[in-house]
């Protein structure tokens, strides 16, 4: 599987199952919030997929710069701290597929 296939696979799953909330010692957010969280990660996956399809994601450094711009512009104010951290964790999973170390990004 290539990176785009792996990103699409990640996009098509529920990234925030109840068992993962419990594993973090948290009560799950409402279904509406969890859907919004999935949508946020899916939007990020769409961004990464577009970059890879356009060839912009072929070089690691420009991709890191583009991810940083996306993250800087990301409006996370609809989510509390735990939800935001959970979203970022899933975004990092997507970045790993693209061979980008999350520690290269200021979040």
- Report which DSSP code applies to 105: S
What's the pTM value of the predicted model, to 2 decimals?
0.92
Q: Is the pLDDT of residue 104 over 80?
A: yes
- Helix axis angle for 31-54 and 81-97, nearest 10°, is 30
Domains of the chain: 3-104 (1.20.1480)
68-79 tens-digit pLDDT: 999 999 999 999
Burial class (CB in 10 A: 0-12, 13-18, 19+), 68: middle
**Contact call for residues 82 and 26 (beta carbons, < 8 A):** yes
Q: What does the pLDDT average to over 85-93?
A: 96
Q: Distance (Å, rounded) from C-alpha 78 to C-alpha 87?
A: 12
Residue 56 banded pLDDT, cuts 50, 70, 90: low
The CA distance from 86 to 52, in Å, is 24
């Amino acid at each position: 599987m290539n990176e785009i296939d792996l990103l699409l696979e990640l996009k098509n799953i529920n990234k925030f199952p109840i068992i993962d909330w419990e594993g973090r010692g948290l009560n799950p957010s409402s279904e509406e919030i969890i859907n919004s969280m999935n949508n946020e990660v899916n939007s990020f996956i769409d961004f990464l997929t577009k970059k890879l399809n356009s060839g912009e994601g072929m070089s690691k450094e420009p991709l890191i710069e583009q991810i940083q711009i996306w993250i800087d512009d990301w409006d996370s104010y609809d989510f509390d701290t735990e939800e935001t951290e959970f979203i970022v964790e899933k975004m990092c999973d997507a970045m790993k597929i693209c061979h980008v170390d999350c520690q290269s990004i200021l979040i």
